[in-house]
Structure 1
Amino acid sequence: MLKTRVITAIVLLAVFLPVTLFAPVAAFGALIGLVVLFAAWEWARLLKAGPAGSIVYAAVAALAVAASTRLESTHSLYQAAGIFWLVAGPYVLVRKPTLAAGVWRAFLLAAGLVIFSACWHALVAARTVGVAFVLSLLLVVWLADIGAYFAGKAFGKHKLAPAISPGKTWEGAVGGWAAVMVVSAAALALHAFEPTLYSALAARLGLVRALFVLTVLVAFSVIGDLFESMTKRQAGVKDSSGLLPGHGGVLDRIDALLPVLPLAMLLLG
Structure 2
Amino acid sequence: MLKTRVITALVLLAVLLPILFLLPAAYIGAFFLVALLAAAWEWSRLLAPGAARAAYLYALFCLVIILLLGMQNVSWQFSLLLLAVIFWFFIAPFILAKGMNLSIQKLRPFYVVLGLILLPATWFALVFLRELGLVFLLSSMALVWVADIGAYFVGKAFGRRKLAVQISPGKSVEGAVGGLVLSYIYALACVFFLPFDSTLFGAWAIRFGWIPMFLMVTVLTAFSVFGDLFESQLKRLAGVKDSSHLLPGHGGVLDRVDALIPTMPIAALLAGLI
Q: TM-score range by the shorter chain?
A: over 0.9
Cα contact 1:47–1:99 (8 A) shared by 2: no
Structure 2: where are the runs of 5+ without partners? none
User: Any idea what the Cα deviations from partners look like across 1:63-95, whole Å, max 9, x if unmatched?
Assistant: 111111023123212110101111221111012
Cα contact 1:65–1:116 (8 A) shared by 2: no
**In structure 1, C-alpha distance between the alignment counterparts of 2:42 and 2:129, rounded to whole Å:** 25
User: Any idea what the Cα deviations from partners look like across 1:85-132, whole Å, max 9, x if unmatched?
Assistant: 112211110124535223x21122112111111111111111111111
CA shift, 1:203, in A, is 3.1
Match of 1:187, SS state, is: helix
| Equivalent residue number for residue 101 of structure 1 | 105
Cα contact 2:153–2:175 (8 A) shared by 1: yes
CA shift, 1:163, in A, is 0.4
What is the identity, as a one-letter code, of the residue corresponding to 1:225?
A: D
Cα contact 1:36–1:62 (8 A) shared by 2: no
Cα contact 1:132–1:194 (8 A) shared by 2: no
Cα contact 2:196–2:202 (8 A) shared by 1: no
| Equivalent residue number for residue 205 of structure 1 | 208
| Equivalent residue number for residue 53 of structure 2 | 52
Superposition pairs of residues 73-152 of structure 1, within 5 angstroms: 73=74, 74-96=77-99, 98=102, 100-102=104-106, 104-152=107-155
| Equivalent residue number for residue 34 of structure 2 | 34
Matched length = 268
Match of 1:168, SS state, is: strand
What is the identity, as a one-letter code, of the residue corresponding to 1:204?
A: R
Superposition pairs of residues 153-172 of structure 1, within 5 angstroms: 153-172=156-175
Root-mean-square deviation (CA, aligned residues, Å) is: 1.4
User: Any idea what the Cα deviations from partners look like across 1:205-259, whole Å, max 9, x if unmatched?
Assistant: 2221011011011000000000000011111111000000000000000000000
TM value normalised by structure 1: 0.96
Cα contact 1:99–1:231 (8 A) shared by 2: no
Structure 1: where are the runs of 5+ without partners? none
| Equivalent residue number for residue 25 of structure 1 | 25
**In structure 1, C-alpha distance between the alignment counterparts of 2:29 and 2:252, rounded to whole Å:** 20
1:240 aligns with 2:238: no
TM value normalised by structure 2: 0.94
| Equivalent residue number for residue 5 of structure 1 | 5
**In structure 2, C-alpha distance between the alignment counterparts of 1:99 and 1:68, rounded to whole Å:** 32
Q: In the superposition, relative to structure 1, how do residues 185 and 159 fare at CA in structure 2: closer, same or farther (>3 Å)? A: same
